[in-house]
Amino acid sequence: MDDKTKNKFEFKNYKIIEKNEVAPETVVFKIQGHIKRDPGQFFQVSMPHLGEATFAPCSDIGDTKHFELCIRCAGSTTNQMIKLLPGDEMQIRGPYGNSWPIGKMIGKNVVVVAGGMGIVPLRPLIFELARYRKEFKNIYIIAGFKTPEHVLFEKDFLSWNSIFKYVKVTVEKSGSKWWGETGLITEILEKPKLSPNDTIVAMCGPDIMFKYATQTLLNKEIPKTNIYVSMERRMECGIGLCQHCNIGKFLVCKDGPIFSWQKIEPELGK
């Protein structure tokens, strides 16, 4: 193993400088340092003697002094991760995987669809769409969450509303102070009129959302080759050893985590 390959799989320590609880059992850590990456790629984070987990960084890749990780408690390892405090260190390696096809989006309409924690790997992409806004046609941001308390990056959505053509945030169950939509994400996705061959979709969320959201897009005659999904939530080891992230003939960590719907749909359920 040469030094370049070895360094890719070595953990390095990064100091936490800020911690914010952004939703129930969900924390955003601001971390000191820079790891060069593209939107959609992921890191492997280790808790010594407990385990490892994969996370897509959720911050702007233009920030070369800090990066952010959004972690929701989903087991024993992440339960300990969210207990870390400013001043503690995280062991991180990466980045790994492919990225959102920004080059293909240039000159096109772009639809970003996020379900729950699916906003995490999409947020860096949205920052890039905002930074190079003139390079794209109309941009639609559609996100769905369980309740207003589960909405992530609320301030971002409010600021993006002044930049992009269509920004909608919906919750399944709202409250009296909720400012957005109420209903299923597919109901919001049905509303915009989209030019089929001139539109690229970037989507991340639970499998059930993929099923119905892709059908909504196909009903709008968006080609399967123009619909991209991130499957990063399925990953475990992140480097192809455990094989737990397989979808048919693909390993999410090695072949993804981002796939066109045309490529990944035939492998689902295998």
Task: Say yes or no: 108 and 79 in one domain.
Answer: no
Q: How would you label 98-128 residue by residue, b for 16+ Cβ within 10 Å and e otherwise?
A: bbbbbeebeebbbbbbbbbbbbbbbbbbbbb
Tokens representing 241 are 């050893």
Total domain count, the chain: 2
pLDDT tens track for 227-268 = 999 998 888 777 777 888 899 999 998 999 999 999 999 998
Query: Is 227 buried (19+), middle (13-18) or exposed (0-12) by CB count in 10 A?
Result: buried
**Nearest alpha-carbon partner for 233 in 75, 37, 63, 23:** 75
The pLDDT assigned to 2 comes to: 44
Cα torsion angle, 115, 116, 118, 122, sign:
positive
The pLDDT assigned to 232 comes to: 86
Task: Say yes or no: 175 and 92 in one domain.
Answer: no
Task: Say yes or no: 70 and 114 in one domain.
Answer: no
Rounded to 5 degrees, what are φ and ψ at 65?
-110, -25
The pLDDT assigned to 1 comes to: 42
Of 39, 65, 96, the residue at which a domain comes to its end is 96
Of 68, 96, 124, the residue at which a domain comes to its end is 96
Of 71, 96, 121, the residue at which a domain comes to its end is 96
The pLDDT assigned to 3 comes to: 43
Residue 121 and residue 189: Cα distance in Å, rounded?
19
The pLDDT assigned to 49 comes to: 84
What's the half-sphere exposure (Cβ side, CA atoms, 13 Å) at 149? 5
> Model-level pTM?
0.94
Tokens representing 112 are 């970003």
* Residue 201 Cα to chain centre, angstroms: 13
pLDDT tens track for 184-209 = 999 999 999 999 999 999 999 999 99
Residue-level pLDDT, tens digit, the chain, 270 residues: 444 444 567 999 999 999 999 999 999 999 999 999 999 999 999 988 888 999 999 999 999 999 999 999 988 899 999 999 999 999 999 999 999 999 999 999 999 999 999 999 999 999 999 999 999 999 999 999 999 999 999 999 999 999 998 999 999 999 888 999 999 999 999 999 999 999 999 999 999 999 999 999 999 999 999 999 999 888 877 777 788 889 999 999 899 999 999 999 999 887
Task: Give the CA distances from residue 239 to residues 18, 94, 101, 244, in Å, rounded to whole numbers and listed in that order.
Answer: 29, 10, 22, 11
Strand 66-72 to 89-96 pairing:
unpaired
Task: Say yes or no: 72 and 119 in one domain.
Answer: no
Task: Say yes or no: 261 and 235 in one domain.
Answer: yes
At 262, which CATH number?
3.40.50.80
The pLDDT assigned to 7 comes to: 55
Domain that holds residue 248: 102-267
Task: Say yes or no: 120 and 230 in one domain.
Answer: yes
Task: Give the CA distances from residue 129 to residues 119, 138, 230, 261, in Å, rounded to whole numbers and listed in that order.
Answer: 14, 10, 17, 21
Task: Say yes or no: 116 and 42 in one domain.
Answer: no
Tokens representing 123 are 């947020």
**3-class state of residue 46 by DSSP:** strand
Task: Say yes or no: 108 and 131 in one domain.
Answer: yes
**3-class state of residue 93 by DSSP:** strand
Q: Tell whether omega for the bond before 95 is within 30 degrees of 0, i.e. cis.
A: yes
Task: Say yes or no: 254 and 123 in one domain.
Answer: yes
Task: Say yes or no: 143 and 259 in one domain.
Answer: yes
Q: Tell whether omega for the bond before 257 is within 30 degrees of 0, i.e. cis.
A: yes
Task: Say yes or no: 64 and 50 in one domain.
Answer: yes
Task: Say yes or no: 219 and 113 in one domain.
Answer: yes
